[in-house]
Structure 1
Amino acid sequence: MTALEFLTAPWEYDFWRRALLVALLSGVVCGVIGSHVVLRGMAFIGDAVAHSVFPGIAVAFVLGLDLVLGGAVAGVVTALLIAVFAQNRRLKEDSVIGIFFAAAFGLGIVVLSTAPGYGGSLESFLFGSILGISDADVLSVAVVGALLLVGTGLLNSRFTATTLDREQARAVGLPVFWLDLALHVMVTLAIVISLQAVGNILVLALLVTPAAAARLLTDRLGAMVLLAPLIGAGGSVVGLYLSYAFDLAAGGLIVLTLTAVFLLCWFFAPRHGLLTRARRTAVPVGERP
């Protein structure tokens, strides 16, 4: 099989086209939202929200409702609770996140114990089912993803101001609490629409890894917000093609591809890569450009 045949052969299948579209959308949306997550050191909340959708999916399964909708409701509720309780500065945000993360997962386990026969759906939820996505799923991801991108564009400067100096942002009249709330909800929705691509266990990587790689490549937020979705979308597509070529799990290969890109950036980034820093250190101070 030639390279061209390899690239075009999967397009004969409807499920492949749907999977590729969702992979692209998830990579772009998570890259944009993830830039703010990485800059604010919010990776833990991404993990917490990813697991907090568990009780919503369990309840939706028991009641015969849409699993993604159930997960979205549970994730948004948890994000709202974290944003509210984290305003008390006697508790660090990671402590509040840990409390609600554990509580949500515990609730999910309790609800799940009342619903025998959930194993198959649970496996899909945990590890992703990107090749089984329907047209309705693609439409949902596209609509929610578009809204998230528009919302991020409108609030980008305010998010940045809050990230750089919260007290200064308050002093100039920015609604810091509501901006925190908006970002938490947007993180939740980005995670929910990506669950089918990589699953609950791996979705944090799609949110954080592209943005972390972009952070190594540039010092400018604007460039980072452009690079992260490119890395996320590109890594998702490459991972999907590798899954097709080797008949292996798509979600896992997407995450491994993104991790490989991050490692390349870690070593070879023009200014902040390990090798670049090592060369700079080896050059005497007087001889540096």
Structure 2
Amino acid sequence: MTRDLWEILGPAFFELMILVGIHSYLGIHVIKRKVIFVDLALAQFAALGTTVGFLFGILPGTPGAYWFSLGFAILGAAVFSLSRFKNEKIPQEAVIGLTYALASAVAILVIDKAPHGAEHIKELLTGSILWVKWSTIGKAAAVYSLVGIFHFLLRDKFLLISSNPEKAYATGMSVRLWDFLFYMSFAVVITHSVGTAGVLLVFVFLVAPAVTSIMITDILWKQLAIGWSMGVLVSIIGLWFSYIFDLPSGPTVVAFYGFVLLLVALTLHVLRSAQKSKAVGQVVAGTLAFTLVGLGFYAMGHTFGNLHHEAHAASKVVDANQLANMDDDAIRSYLAGIDDLELLDVLYHKQQDDHIRILIATRLAQLDSHIGLEKLQGIMKNSSFPFIREEAREALEQLRINP
């Protein structure tokens, strides 16, 4: 069992570990630059590149798909580096959001012409982290290490632009050039990440650890330590949970990231509050309000679901009146298409013709022997017509022979 578990989850775990390493660091830059959607937008550009390649028959995971993805991601990096202005009237985040929307729209238009397009979009969103190969992990580790060295050597420039762009402009730095180098290295990382982890998981790996660590401390090395620790913990729990409950690994890890981030935020709210009892009360009240809203949606869903079911049942009542105009073969064919016991029961009780009721009861017996046999026995016992009682008996015998 342990060996099988390792063979299934081992590669995915190591892939998540190297994703945590580089993405937690880049995420801190993203938060400081206040360009939250740049990672999502670059990921979408990379996904668009893969999609365009797919249209030409280039399968995801192949060298051709990689170069298409990288090329489009670098194109996105160039766009974002040109979208920053010293005295900007329009926030850079607005430009990034717009380009993300455009890239998404173009991807949908392109994939609409490709075979199995829906499956491809789902794979791009959720990834296939469980199927990652050790060779892919090795390549990703090498690429991420090179990007990490690149950022370490140029850390002063990148950190200055991320933390204090006004000072960078004042010192005469070519901010657009350094932005392009930053986003280009970012694009290289994203290109590798999207192929295995998917757009959703990449976005969360970049943002969630960075947000959590920045909420706790302002010191960079502590932020990195917190982000990496959180990533390791959530990855282990998410993978294990997805294995136990047979859930998609990527979305499960994303959900746990959200849960841990919320838990940390609420804990910090209480610990840093001058009136801790009041803060605890706010957390409890918020939890209760959220629970009540959830229960409200649950009740609303059941109410509208029942209304829809009743309307559907009412339409079957109309059908019950039409059965009398069908021959036996048509009735059997019609009933064979109904798997809802409640709807069949409605048809049975609204039907006046005992012969048709026998056919309905027979169909019920095929789905639930107890209900169907009980109705056939009732017809055989209560019908005033001998030939109907005989027909019901024959139906019972036939069901016992061919249950």
Using structure 1 for the length normalisation, give the TM-score: 0.84
For 1:130 and 1:58, how far apart are their aligned partners in 2?
19
Between 178-187 and 27-36, the greater mean CA deviation after superposition: 178-187
Task: Choose 273-282 or 176-185, whichever is displaced more.
Answer: 273-282
SS of alignment partner, residue 42 of structure 1 = coil
Report if aligned partners of 2:21, 2:228 keep a CA contact under 8 Å in 1.
Answer: yes
Q: CA deviation at 1:9?
A: 5.3
Residues 135-174 of structure 1 correspond to what in structure 2 (within 5 A)? 135-174=134-173
1:43-102 Cα deviation digits (max 9, x unpaired): 121222222223211111122333344223212211211211333734321232133222
Please state whether the residue corresponding to 2:156 is helix, strand or coil: helix
Alignment partners' CA distance in 1, 2:176 and 2:221:
24
State yes or no: 1:62 paired with 2:41. Answer: no
Aligned length: 272
> Which residue of 2 is the match for residue 79 of structure 1?
77
Change (3 A) 1:110 1:147: same
- List alignment gaps of at least 5 residues for structure 2: 279-403
Distance 2:276 2:233 in 1: 33
Structure 1 alignment gaps of length 5 or more: 284-289
Corresponding residue SS for 1:199: helix
Superposed displacement of residue 281, structure 1: 7.1
Q: Distance in 2 between matches of 1:136 and 1:9?
A: 20
* Preserved CA contact (<8 Å) 2:127 2:250: yes
2:276 aligned with 1:276: no
Note if 1:10 corresponds to 2:5: yes
Residue in 1 that maps onto 2:191: 192
Provide the residue aligned with 1:49 in structure 2.
42
| CA positional deviation for 1:36 | 1.0
What is the letter of the counterpart of residue 272 of structure 2? R
Q: Secondary structure at the match of 1:43?
A: coil
Distance 2:134 2:4 in 1: 21
The RMSD of aligned alpha carbons is 2.4
Residues 19 and 31 (structure 1), Cα distance of their counterparts in 2 relative to 1, 3 Å cut: same
Cα gap change, 1:233 to 1:28, in 2 (>3 Å): farther
Give, in angstroms, the shift of residue 239 of structure 1: 1.2
Deviation for aligned residue 1:280: 5.5
Evaluate the alpha carbon distance shift between residue 24 and residue 80 of structure 1 in structure 2; reply closer, same or farther with a 3 A threshold: same
Q: Does 1:98 align with 2:97?
A: yes
CA, structure 1 residues 180+188, in 2 after alignment: closer, same or farther (shift >3 Å)?
same
List aligned pairs for 1:211-226, cutoff 5 A.
211-226=210-225
Contact 1:46 1:207 in 2 (8 A): yes
* One-letter amino acid of the structure 2 residue matched with residue 81 of structure 1: V
